[in-house]
Amino acid sequence: MKDCKDMTELRAEIDRVDRLIVPLLLERIKLIAQAGHIKADRDAVRDNWRIEDVVSKVVAEAKKQAGDVAYIEAIYRHLIEYSINHEFTVWDDVNES
């Protein structure tokens, strides 16, 4: 991580990080859509065990990197809920056709 000297430099670094994050988020949502095609049962879309599994893994990674665990957990819980809703939409579209 770069030690920025002013807001212009800081904003450029944030923009750089965002350019790295966005493609990964788009890749993740495409994988979620695949799950909507694969799962045979709509009740399988929300998997509470898997939610906690994902959260525990990202929290462990945040701890490993001495990061803000609460920040990572909050972001991932929101990301997972959005993903579940997206997967429901995909599942419904596939199975109502």
Per-domain boundaries in the chain: 7-95
Among 58, 57, 51, 46, residue whose Cα is nearest residue 86? 46
Q: What does each of the 97 residues of the chain score in pLDDT, given as a tens digit?
A: 889 999 999 999 999 999 999 999 999 999 999 999 999 999 999 999 999 999 999 999 999 999 999 999 999 999 999 999 999 999 999 998 6
> What is the rounded distance in angstroms from the CA atom of residue 80 to the CA atom of residue 72?
12
Q: Which numeric CATH code is attached to 7-95? A: 1.20.59.10
> What global pTM score does this model have?
0.91
Residue 76 and residue 54 in contact, taking contact as beta carbons nearer than 8 Å: yes
Half-sphere exposure of 14 (CA within 13 A, CB side): 6
